[in-house]
Structure 1
Amino acid sequence: MREVTAKGQSVEEAVEIALAQLNTTRDRIEIDVLDEGKKGLFGLFGSRKAVVKATMKPDPIEEAEKFLQEVTSQMGLQAKIDKKIEGRNVTFTLSGDKLALLIGKRGQTLNSLQYLTQLAANRHAKKHLTIMLDAEEYRSRRKETLVHLAERVAQKVLRTKKEVVLEPMPSYERKVIHTALMKYKQIETYSSGTEPYRHLVITTKK
């Protein structure tokens, strides 16, 4: 966490000097006024400069990227991290060697890391951020698999008239299945459970 102490003829001037030293804007720092200063007699005798301490606020996206870098490094992976920001949706795409270890069986490791990265980001965010991780185009391949799964399950539910409970999935994957089944007028889907064990239930409409 970066911080500087700056002096000025007034608190406002000291803050401006601190902003220049940190090369940032007012909304990115927290100000602690250490001394409001004193003008003194005739503005000369007994005067004292104002002193402020400016501390950079953590940037949630930077903190999320830092978290990812630390985790991949501890896993012994040299992964390049690219990010795409669309409003409050942030996608981190990882590339490099041996990323199958990062993806895990049916994406479970990737999903867990995505969940933890989202927690790391939102710990510092004023507004909720949605984080998505991708590696080796896993998400697009997984989407195709989920659509095929949704079709098979829907046919089973229509045939047996019994609901089917799917394995826990992140919200993005549940949405893929929900969207794929919207064309079935006799089928409904709903989520149950709490994160990260929230899962989708597919059943016939009552």
Structure 2
Amino acid sequence: MREVIVTGKTVEEATEKACLELGLPREEVSIEILEMPTRKLFKSTPAKVKATADEAEAPAAEEKPAAPKAEVKPEAPKAEPVVAEAAAPAQETAEEKPVTEAQQAKLDAAVAYLKTVFAAMGAGEVTVTTSKQGEACIIRVEGDDVGMLIGHRGETMESLSYLASLVANRMPGEYIKLGLDVAGYRGKREKDLEALARRMGAKVARTGRSWAMDPMNPYERRIIHSTISGMEGVRSESKGEGADRRVVIYPTDPQAAGTAFERERRGERGGRGGRGGRGGKGRGDKGRKGGERRSSVPAREFADTPREEGAAPMAPKRTQLIDDAEGFALYGKIEL
């Protein structure tokens, strides 16, 4: 078992640093919070977490396919699964396509620009390789001290990827999709986000209540949308602006509890007035019609009726505010 103790401004930041040091995704690391971050008037204490990676889990996962192999050892023909396992990496490498000369020229320009930026950031010795997967060209960066090139939740990596794409596509030729992957972070982050999206999507489908995720950058939001689109019973939308833009997952079932559709249905039922009060339906003659509200001020029906002879005159209706202090000076003599 490997353990590291890492500090950060927040618990989440310390957790990500610990996962990077261990080189494992978040699902394979157990986190123990040692100290919560605190802020005082003149001093702030960072968060401290203890990350533990159980290396014994990896062999245990490999022992599952090993059990059938031990049983089938006497039978020679059943050695085929080993061949199938060896063929799996070949399929992964087959996905990589050759890079054309025009694309390679653009990649070389982007790599030269990135190396200049890496040197200015003090990243030290780095190894840069390029490849093409599907329709996207990937620039992979490896090194001993490349954590600064990733940043918080990969924000620095995405910014560098955007700048490299601008440099590459300023050159003449067909537009290319370019991505930057530092120390395999992109693949690990994609797996974490896909797992998170599936977990939250299942929760929304089960409870029928929408769920707003934490703010994310466009790259992370695309992964969430792509994962949710492959699930049944849920859909996703991006809400907010700027740094607060986030993904909200909604249930697609209109009968789900807690949805706006259900609240509208409840508002249309009988027995409710137009403003949410109880109407006359279901309460007999005591109810009010159409949600009407009676005034608490009695109507002055006697105002227009003819008056009897000899009756006392009515007080005139006041139409102007009377100021008792009008005409007096601001300061006057006070007699004791």
> Does TM, normalized by the shorter one, top 0.5?
yes
Deviation track 1:122-144 (CA, whole Å, cap 9, x = no partner) reads 22253322111112211221122
Answering whether residue 120 of structure 2 is matched by residue 74 of structure 1, we say yes
Answering whether residue 108 of structure 2 is matched by residue 62 of structure 1, we say yes
Partners of 2:216 and 2:175 lie apart in 1 by 22
Partners of 1:90 and 1:132 lie apart in 2 by 6
| Alpha-carbon shift at residue 98 of structure 1 (Å) | 0.7
- Give TM-score scaled by structure 2 length: 0.39
Structure 2: gaps spanning 5 or more residues: 1-100, 255-336
Asked whether the 8 Å contact 2:161–2:178 carries over to 1, the reply is yes
Structure 1: gaps spanning 5 or more residues: 1-26, 29-58
| Alpha-carbon shift at residue 85 of structure 1 (Å) | 2.8
| Alpha-carbon shift at residue 177 of structure 1 (Å) | 2.3
Per the alignment, residue 264 of structure 2 pairs with none
- Give TM-score scaled by structure 1 length: 0.60
RMSD of aligned Cα (Å): 3.1
| Alpha-carbon shift at residue 187 of structure 1 (Å) | 0.9
Larger RCO: 1 or 2 (CA < 8 Å, sep 6+)? 1
Answering whether residue 217 of structure 2 is matched by residue 169 of structure 1, we say yes
Partner amino acid for 2:145?
K
| Alpha-carbon shift at residue 82 of structure 1 (Å) | 0.4
Per the alignment, residue 226 of structure 2 pairs with 179
Q: How does 1:1-206 map to 2 (within 5 A)?
A: 59-77=105-123, 78-86=125-133, 88-158=135-205, 159=207, 161-171=209-219, 173-191=220-238, 199-205=246-252
Asked whether the 8 Å contact 1:170–1:196 carries over to 2, the reply is no
| Alpha-carbon shift at residue 191 of structure 1 (Å) | 4.5
Pick closer, same or farther for the CA change 1:109–1:60 going to 2, 3 Å. Answer: same
Partners of 2:221 and 2:158 lie apart in 1 by 13
Asked whether the 8 Å contact 2:169–2:176 carries over to 1, the reply is yes
Q: Secondary structure at the match of 2:117?
A: helix
Asked whether the 8 Å contact 1:60–1:121 carries over to 2, the reply is yes
| Alpha-carbon shift at residue 186 of structure 1 (Å) | 1.6
- Matched residue count: 150
Deviation track 1:32-73 (CA, whole Å, cap 9, x = no partner) reads xxxxxxxxxxxxxxxxxxxxxxxxxxx422221111111101
| Alpha-carbon shift at residue 84 of structure 1 (Å) | 0.5
Partners of 1:81 and 1:89 lie apart in 2 by 16
| Alpha-carbon shift at residue 156 of structure 1 (Å) | 4.2
Query: Which has the greater radius of gyration?
Result: 2
Pick closer, same or farther for the CA change 1:89–1:160 going to 2, 3 Å. Answer: same
Per the alignment, residue 37 of structure 2 pairs with none
Same amino acid, percent of matched pairs: 29
